[in-house]
Chains A and B, each alone.
Chain A
Amino acid sequence: MNQYVVVANNKQKKDIRLGFLLLSPALAVLTLFICIPGIMAAGLSFFNYRLGQTPQFAGFMNYVYLFQNPDFIISIIRNLIFVCIVVLLQLILGLAVSLLLAKNFKFQKFWVACLLTPMAISPAVASVIWRYLLNYNIGPINYLLGLIGLPRAQWLSHPILAFASICFVYIWQSTPHIIIALYPARLTIPETLYEAAYIDGANSFQSFRHITLPLLKPVIIIMTIFRIMISFRNFGLVWTLTRGGPNNATELASIFLYNEGFRYWRFGSASAVAMVLVLITVFISIKYIKSMQQSTFGA
């Protein structure tokens, strides 16, 4: 009786073998170039290590030291706030732009290219321009504020404004990353679905709610996971804009890590920061990872 089951089983076994074969190159590269060095770094977090010198075993001292340091705790909290604001706004903006672009405009390709430039320009040069735009004394933004009779704002040197500024510039720079995933995804939704909904009397919000959102959901979830991860250890932009100042108001965990490792020469402790960062990222993104896996592998 079980001939079919055997055939199916055989087929499934073959599928699994093929699957692992197809997966193995990617997994091998990831293991070699990230996982093994990553585990080595995890090991380093239990040592006192100055680059170029022999590491000394320190047990959990690096972690103890970190959690006794209020600056570290605050930088983690600050980082969480940063990630929340930035990822949420990015997603909303990116989604809005992608849906808008689907309406088809004249010179469409040109507009798309323009909208993607912030991620294509050299970040170092972009931060030079933003430092000038946001400059308190000679920045054009303050000049325009002055023209309409508003007081000048200390965009990069008032603690709260500086934090808002780095969020803003970060969103400016990274929203294109969302557009580049959501815009093609939106294009793959067949127009016929919307036409059918329109005939059924659905308004545009309803068709957004019941057609666009469910179909884009897998891509949105993936973008959420990766944007959380990437913005969680965003370094370059904040470093070039404010160096974590004024008075540590923009010191994110990644800046703390950089200072520990390369400026204060404590690599063990920097690795410990990295491990804490990894754990926190796993913790906040596990929900999304689970929901992504559910759609493929079942509960």
Chain B
Amino acid sequence: MSQQATLTVEHLSVSYDAGDTPLRAVRDVSFSIAPGEAYGLIGESGSGKTTVAFAMMNYLRGGRIEGGRILLQGQPIQDLPKSELRQIRGNKVAMVYQDPMSSLNPGIRVGEQIAEALRYHGIADRAGARARAVRLLADVNLPDPEAMVDRYPHQLSGGQQQRIVIAMALACEPDLVIMDEPTTGLDVTTEAVILDLIRELRHKINASILFISHNIAVVAKVCDRVGVLYAGELVEEGRVAEVIRRPKHPYTVGLVASMPSGTDRSQRLASIKGSLPDLTKVPQGCIFADRCLISRDVCLAERPPAIEVGPAHISRCLFPDEAQDVIQKAEARVVAPARAAGPAETVMHIDDLKLWYTRRRGLRVWHKPQPVRAVNGVTLDIEAGRTLAVVGESGSGKSTLARCVVGLVPPTGGAIEFHGERLGGRARQRGVKTRQRIQIIFQNPESALNPQRTVGEIIARPLKLYNCVEPSRIDERVAELMKAVNLPARYASRYPHQLSGGEKQRVSIARVLGTEPDLIICDEPTSALDISVQAAVLNALSDLQARHGLSYMFISHDLGVVRYISDRVAVMYLGVVVETGPTEAVFKAPHHPYTESLVAALPDLSGNGEKPEVRLQGTPPSPTARIKGCVFASRCPRKVGAICETTPPPVQNLADGRKLACHIPVDELARLQGAVPAVAVG
């Protein structure tokens, strides 16, 4: 790199004040980004990646740069006075945040929000700024930019809002754009569209990009080089493809191996045991040593230097060539669960289930509101000892379906049969035995456990409620259950806030296991967790299924996870199941056009071979809309014509046990998705 780098970070250290001893969030981090380059920074929660991002803008609330330098085009920024910093922010360095809804001002038209920065930095006058805003909106592929500039943020979808935020960032033609998890809050299909946009923009603009994410697959899609951040240290750095294919640090190895989409489903996911070290007491040696499966005494003595392990590939591990052994060592300890084959008994049959909400507003008694059709005629079977995954994006009704099944909301129509017996709408109307045998694990471990109860009390409660064991044996049983989910027995007296996210989720699992259920509804049980922790939870679920013959209904938006854990999958869109079938078959072409776009949106770690990509445009119709034809018609890239809007699609049965609802004959779908390259709607 003979050119001057856009951004150079030299030995950056940042601390936060936390009581008596400072929390050393970032320590000795160095990297540089060349003009036009996209640099990815990966790390899990607590790795300090967002701190690094804010340090670039010299905008650390409560934090302090302890050492090192940040050079923007050779100019150190941390000593600049406030007035000059303001000139840099937005103008030379721009930022895209995670949540578009909170980075846009809800009371100002989006065009004005873009124009404001242009005027502030004296780039354009009032009329010029507006014209420029329209052009920027066209650049980020928003339809009808002339009309779009006068909209308010709430009139746009999440994906459109994020495009506005990106347009704002690009407004002043910055030299560096910092993107902090720009797609994390979005649906998978929207995420794919935004990532496409970022890739496309990289060719149009000259800016360097610092892309921060917890998802390696996403970074692989848009970045040239990547740095892996662990507990505030940069442990590995190199070209993206190189780091993913040949990681040379045990942490990176674990991270890559714990991605479900990168793993064959017969294999186990490699989770990383333990948790982040306490950064108020930074250990002397290698920061990862206490969780590393190949660490030795030397690792504890001294912090490993940055070792060149390949062309432009650096690892802070003393034994970079042995890093791959971590996988074997992790796998040696656990047996891969066997997958049951052949037909199985049906545990639960859901028949034409409907759940419509009617919301009355104010006093308009004579006005009959349209119901929200959250679940609109779903028929599914759950087989004994198997996992049925229900996939869909936000608003598809998958969580409502789960709440219906456990009796939290009574359905408006249809029936749920459990072992051939029809279930009451509310949990309290069901028999004790039935309630005991259908259990649910929730999405958010932070809110699923009562903060005022100890772990022991939480796990013991269902045992007492259902009289699962004699009162004198409860403590014993709690200890057994905690052991089953790999929680140390001493945690029984702790409160939830003293546990990490993954541990809390395991408490939730232990709580439902105690009742010896037949069926567990898992409502996005890993979506709030870090990838390495997610792997541990998924492994625990697989093990327990193999050991106890449990059936799961696994609700998720993450196709990678679904592909790994499920036997059958049902794809939901707007309250309707559009396709069901055995998981592997569904992931193979041909699919329902909606499934096709979901599969295409799945970030692929292998990185080789551009698959034909289908992208979804627009937003789902309002859930109160009465749809006569196919629910997906308004966004379908393969819509055949008026018939899609007027007639409900027929259900087509495929040879491999799949069912899909589409007007296009299966043979035709196969031809469209196989031979002819898909119409890429960008």
Is B truly associated with A?
Answer: no
Residues of A within 8 A of B (CB): none
Residues of B within 8 A of A (CB): none
